[in-house]
Amino acid sequence: MRSISIFGATGSVGQNTVSIIQHNRNAFDVHAVTGAKNIEKLAEIAVALNAKLAVTSEISRLDDLQSRLKGTGIAVQAGRDALLSAAADPVDWAISAVVGFAGLEVSLKIAENGKTLALANKESLVCGGALLHETCKCAGTTLLPVDSEHSAIFQALNGEDINRVERVILTASGGPFLNSTIEEMAHATPEQAADHPNWSMGQRISIDSASMFNKAMEIIETKELFGISGGKIDVVIHPQSIIHSMVGFKDGAIIAQMGPTDMCGAIGYALYWPVRTDTGVDRLDFSKLSQLDFQPADMDRFPAIAIAHDAMKRGGLAGTVFNAAKEQCLDLFLDRSIGFLDMADLVNETVQSLENFGNCDADSMDKILKSDTWAREYVLKLFKMSNK
C-alpha cells in the first residue's frame, strides 16, 4: 500500500483525486487531507478515505472540524503551521492542490520530505520554480505535473531527448469569451467569467481561463518545469479541449496527447506513474468527435500572454510579481471593484514597475514573500489612484 496525502482535498482537483483513490481504495493508505473553509466536505473526505489527519488552514474553523470528526479517531489540526507541518510528514505521494500563492510553501515542504510531489498548484512553479527544483534535487523528490497541459507535455516527452524539442504547443479552449467582442469582455461579470465551456474547475482558475491569465501562467510553468525557453512555447486555441497539448520535434513530428476534458486523466497519470492504470475516466468516442478546430490566440483581447512573455524575459522575481498582481486583481474583480479587462492593465503596469522594487534571483522564500507583498500593495495603490 502506498501512503499518500492530499493538500487542497476539498477543491476541484482535490475532489477529483479523492474520486480516483476511491476507485482503487485498497491501494492507498491516506495520511493527511487538508482544506480551508469547506469543513463539511473536509470531514466527509477524511471519513471516506479513513485519513489519519485532517487539517484546515483556518484556525477559526478548528472547533467545527473537531466536532464533525469526534469519535472517528482521525486527528484534527488547524492553522497555517499545522498545514505546513502536515506537508512535512513523509509519505510516498502527495498532491499539492491548494489554490494560489498559498500553495508554494506547501509544495516546498512536500518536496523537502516527500518521495513524489504531484503538482497541481501552478503558482509554485511560476513564483518559485528554481527553488522548488533545487529542493526536489536535494531531497531526491520526484516532481510530477498535474496541470493537464503539462501532463500532456510530460507524456509526449516520455523517452525523448529534450534537446530535440523544437517547440511546445499549449492548447487553450478560449474560455467563455472566445467569440466575445472587447466591449462585451469589458462589461463581463464574475459569474460570466467563471462559466467555463469545457472544464469543471475552481472559481479562480475558471476566471483565469477566461482572461487567459491561466494560459499565461502555464507558459511560465512550461518554462520552469521543462527548461524550455519562452520563444519555443506557442499557444493555440482549440475549443474542444480534446488535445491537451503537443510537443514538436526537430524532425517536424508532433506528438499530441488526447483525452476527455476530465482532470482525472492527468491526476491519475501522476498517481500511478510510471504505470498506466484505469482511473474510471470516460474513453474518447471518435464516432462522436466530428471535428477538432484550431485558431491563433487574439493578443488584443487576451493581453495576458504577452505580459507572461515579458515576465519571463525579466526573470528573477517577475513570475512572483506577475502572479501576485494577477491574484490581487482577481480579488478586485470578484469584489466588482474593477472590470474584467482592467485586470490585465493593472498586472502589466505592476510587472513593468518591478524595477521600483528591485529584481533579483527568486532563490529564497523571504525574497519571494517580499516581492509578493510589494506587488499586491502596488496593485492596490494603482487602483486607489485611478479612483481618486
Q: What residue ranges bind ligand NDP (CB under 6 A)?
A: 8-14, 35-38, 57, 83, 97-99, 102-103, 120-123, 147, 199, 201-202, 204-205, 263
* Interaction of residue 224 with Mg ion, rule CB under 5 A: no
What order of strands is seen across the sheet that includes strand 28-35?
A: 75-78, 53-56, 28-35, 2-7, 93-96, 116-119, 142-145
> With CB under 5 A as the contact rule, which of the stretches 131-139, 145-153, 235-243, 293-301 interacts with Mg ion?
145-153
325 vs 382 by CB, closer to ligand NDP: 325
Determine how β-strand 2-7 pairs with β-strand 53-56.
Answer: unpaired
Q: How far is the CB of 220 from ligand NDP (least distance, A)?
A: 12
Binding-site partner at residue 57 among ligand NDP, Mg ion, none, CB < 5 to 8 Å by type? ligand NDP
Q: Which x/- pattern over 97-136 shows residues binding Mg ion (rule: CB under 5 A)?
A: ----------------------------------------
Part of the chain binding Mg ion (CB under 5 A), chosen from 100-108, 148-156, 289-297, 370-378:
148-156
Which residues have CB under 8 Å from 184's CB, separation 6+? 177
Min dist CB 269 to ligand NDP, Å, is: 13
- In terms of DSSP bridges, do strands 116-119 and 93-96 run parallel, antiparallel, or are they unpaired? parallel
Is 372 one of the binding residues for Mg ion (CB under 5 A)? Answer: no
Q: Are 113 and 139 in contact (CB under 8 A)?
A: yes
DSSP string, 140-189: T-EEEE-SHHHHHHHHHTTT--GGGEEEEEEEE---TTTT--HHHHHT--
In whole angstroms, the minimum distance from the beta carbon of 102 to Mg ion comes to 19
Minimum CB distance to ligand NDP smaller for 36 or for 91: 36
Which partner, ligand NDP, Mg ion, none, binds residue 10 by CB below 5 to 8 Å per kind? ligand NDP
Letter for the amino acid at 212?
M
Q: How far apart are CA 249 and CA 118, in angstroms?
A: 26
Residue closer to ligand NDP by CB (options 107, 135) is: 107
Number of residues forming the site for Mg ion (CB under 5 A): 3
Pairing label, strands 233-237, 295-296: antiparallel
Min dist. Cβ of residue 128 to ligand NDP (A): 13
Find the helix packing angle between 213-226 and 318-334, rounded to 10°.
160
Residue closer to Mg ion, measured from CB, 85 or 240: 240
Residue 201 interacts with which of ligand NDP, Mg ion, none, CB < 5 to 8 Å by class = ligand NDP
| Cβ closest to Mg ion, residue 74 vs residue 217 | 217
Q: Are 310 and 351 in contact (CB under 8 A)?
A: yes
Distances (CA, A) of 278 to 24, 268, 282, 318: 9, 8, 10, 40
120, interface contact from Mg ion, ligand NDP, none, CB < 5-8 Å by kind? ligand NDP
* CB 148, min distance to Mg ion, A: 5
Strand segments (E) across 83-130: 93-96, 116-119
Residue with the closest Cβ to ligand NDP?
A: 11
Q: How far is Cα 218 from Cα 295, in angstroms, rounded to an integer?
A: 18
**Residue 173 or 348 with smaller CB distance to ligand NDP:** 173
CB 325, CB 211: distance < 8 Å: no
Q: How many residues appear in the chain?
A: 388
Residue 54 or 312 with smaller CB distance to ligand NDP: 54
CB of 213 to ligand NDP, least distance (A): 10
Part in contact with Mg ion (CB under 5 A); list of ranges 143-151, 272-280, 281-289, 332-340: 143-151
Should residue 147 be labelled a site residue for Mg ion when binding is judged by CB under 5 A?
yes
Residues in Cβ contact with 174 at an 8 Å cutoff, skipping those fewer than 6 apart: 237, 239, 297
For ligand NDP, the closer of residues 79 and 315 by Cβ is 79
Residues at the site binding Mg ion, with contacts judged by CB under 5 A: 147-149
